A and B are shown apart, each in its own frame.
Chain A
């Protein structure tokens, strides 16, 4: 129960940072995606059912704080969660480098999924140039923050790749 409360508190903190802090202090390509860190965490550690629900809700939360396409990130986050859940049992998920790398890849995948979904379902000509140019910087900054979060959560832990 305490663990869940901590996660909820962290998510609230992430929302505050994502909505009120990062947009004002980070230039556009370098706005991190904190929600993706939670999605990756849920994909590695979470329950299949509730983790999936959580990933979907995180995506919808992200849609509520940016853009006009409600459900866009909901789909992407759920997709990423499912991919991670599928491969999680093959990986040493306690590894910090794996977590950081996964966050980077998940952020990139999220951008590509957003782009694909927008191109298929919406009329947003030209958005591919914006998304493609912003994907890598966003992935890097998000991975960096994931590294900091991991260091804070388990500062003395030694990892080994599986």
Chain B
């Protein structure tokens, strides 16, 4: 006869006697009857079932580990059944979340939005100001470059007004008699000739633009040295008058001030020839010039402080 003790503490108060009868093992208590064993089982059946269930589940788990990457039929069934439900619940959850996030939670968003818009406006204004400052800097740099090149003293001025009439071409600048400006003085910009001073007040002056019909500037074609007078034609076009038919004048030629007459210094750029027309008869040819200076976008100019010889 062999005597074994049971697992854990289950059989601690009891002694399981295993009798070897050749075929089977039967637990027999020593000093306890069979009815006592049944009572014991009845009394502790829950614990025993729990233990067996745990053990079974562990075994099941250990067996399932071999196929852990494959869903078994139970898992597939559960997945198939729960997925639609989970999807619906998820959609409801999203809906509720959106209501919360988009409406209830946004009670202060209007204020914040307003504040952000104001901030954007301020930043945009700063951006525009910065760009404007850069552009202005470039313009002034060019103007100062011209000021250094010119052999005579100059006075920088701002364009503060335009002509109120559609058929005259004048602008008003913020320099006048108090700044040494006098009638007849030439006015130039970084790109070239602008015109000349025609009316002077104490702190402002009017400039007759080279595109006005009353304007005339002695000029020379840079390439061929052909002479003429640049007259305004209204708009932003001028013409080279008194240029004889035989003179070598071509489209694209640059026209400069000739210095004749003493109003404008010699060599200032006026414009580019855009059209040359030589008729069969007549002494002169028709020459159109596009001024280098964009009259409609003038902002800063230089008044050449030299006395006119007119």
- Option from A66, A124, A125, A126 in Cβ contact (under 8 Å) with B165: A66
Question: Which of B161, B162, B168, B199 has the most CB atoms of chain A within a 10 A radius of its CB?
Answer: B168
A31 touches B165 (CB 8 A): yes
Count, chain B residues at interface, CB 8 A: 20
In the complex, what residue of chain A is closest to B216 when comparing beta carbons? A123
Chain B residues with CB under 8 Å of A29's CB are: 166
Asked if A138 and B208 sit within 8 Å, CB to CB, the answer is no
Verify A67–B213 contact, CB threshold 8 A.
no
CA distance A6 to B302 in the complex (A): 41
Q: Which residues of B contact A129 (CB under 8 A)?
A: 234
Report yes or no: A23 in contact with B163, Cβ–Cβ below 8 A. Answer: yes
A26 to B103: give the CA distance in the assembly, Å: 48
Instruction: Say if the beta carbon of A131 comes within 8 Å of chain B.
Output: yes
A24 touches B213 (CB 8 A): no
Smallest Cβ distance from B235 to chain A, in angstroms? 7
19 A–B contacts from the bound complex (CB under 8 Å): A23-B163, A24-B162, A31-B165, A31-B166, A33-B165, A67-B163, A67-B165, A67-B168, A68-B170, A68-B206, A124-B213, A125-B213, A125-B231, A127-B167, A127-B213, A127-B234, A129-B234, A130-B167, A130-B213
Known: A23-B162, A68-B206. 9 other contacts (CB 8 A): A29-B166, A31-B165, A62-B164, A62-B165, A67-B167, A67-B168, A111-B167, A127-B234, A130-B167
Q: Which residues of B contact A (CB under 8 A)?
A: 161-168, 170, 198-199, 206, 208, 212-214, 231, 233-235
Interface residues of A (CB under 8 A from B): 18-20, 22-24, 28-31, 33, 62, 65-68, 111, 114, 122-127, 129-131, 134, 137-138
